[in-house]
Amino acid sequence: MVGPSLLLVLLSSAPFNEPAARAWLESMRKDARRNMSVDPVDGAYFYKVTTELKAKRVLEIGTSTGYSSGWFALALKKTGGKLITLEIDPDRHAEALKNFEAMGVADIVDARLCNALVELPRLEGPFDIVFIDAWKPDYLKYYELTVNKVRPGGVILAHNTTNAAGPMRSFLERIQKDPAVRTEFLQESIQGLSISWKK
Ligand SMILES: C[S@@+](CC[C@H](N)C(=O)[O-])C[C@H]1O[C@@H](n2cnc3c(N)ncnc32)[C@H](O)[C@@H]1O
């Protein structure tokens, strides 16, 4: 059994290797609660939708230590795409950078230490996928700052739509009424995920 520290040494300068990267991602599950990571079932959905859309540009709001980013990155290694991911907390951002190195995906992940509300207006689209997973009361702001930067056929995903519906009520109303998108919900995890397809 190889421990996480030895794995990091083995992987940090190694080229991308999918089984090893998946093993690292799995090792991150032990800190899932502390890092507020998505459930693996939602991560597997990110992998699937990124692959199916042949996504080249993915934007994530709320990196934490990079667990959900890792799922996108696994798929983007296949599609030849890149991930931009935004995190406001310096410690979690620093840990995410180490995880991206360990997974062999640092070359395709642009991890930015920033306030998303400041950074989003500066980002140019189009994106294939936007994933929202930061401060719940700000979901409507993140949505309004990104919806016009998603290409037709692309998708805006948002996490915790079941277990944190209260603080994001305005967002949930908007994505179900906005004629620019068609929204459905995935309730495989207890957190829940909204899926808004851009028309
Ligand atoms: C639920 S966690 C993200 C979990 C991550 N997506 C995963 O599944 O591994 C939310 C993160 O959003 C970050 N965050 C909150 N408000 C933010 C903002 N305005 N800009 C950037 N990051 C923010 C928090 O610091 C926290 O690390």
Q: Tell me the pLDDT tens digit for each residue of 139-156.
A: 999 999 999 999 999 999
| 131 CA: nearest ligand 1 atom | 6
DSSP state of 89: -
- Rg for the chain, CA atoms, rounded: 16
- Cβ–ligand 1 distance for 116 under 6 Å, the answer yes
95 lines ligand 1 (CB under 6 A): no
Query: b/e map of 12-34 (b: 16 or more CB within 10 Å)?
Result: eeeebeeebbebbbebbeeeeee
Q: What predicted TM-score, i.e. pTM, was given to this entire model?
A: 0.94
Average pLDDT, the chain: 94
Q: Is the pLDDT of residue 7 over 90?
A: no
CATH of domain 4-198: 3.40.50.150
DSSP 54: T
Assess whether the C-beta atom of 146 lies below 6 angstroms from ligand 1.
no
Nearby residues of 123 by Cβ (< 8 Å), 6 or more positions away? 59, 84, 149
pLDDT of residue 18: 95
Position 67 pLDDT exceeds 80:
yes
Which DSSP category does 4 fall into? H
- Partnered with residue 109 across adjacent β-strands are 83
Report d(CA 52, CA 41) in Å as an integer: 17
pLDDT at 183 over 90: yes
**153 residue type, one letter:** G
Quick one: which atom of ligand 1 is closest to the CA of 116?
Answer: 20
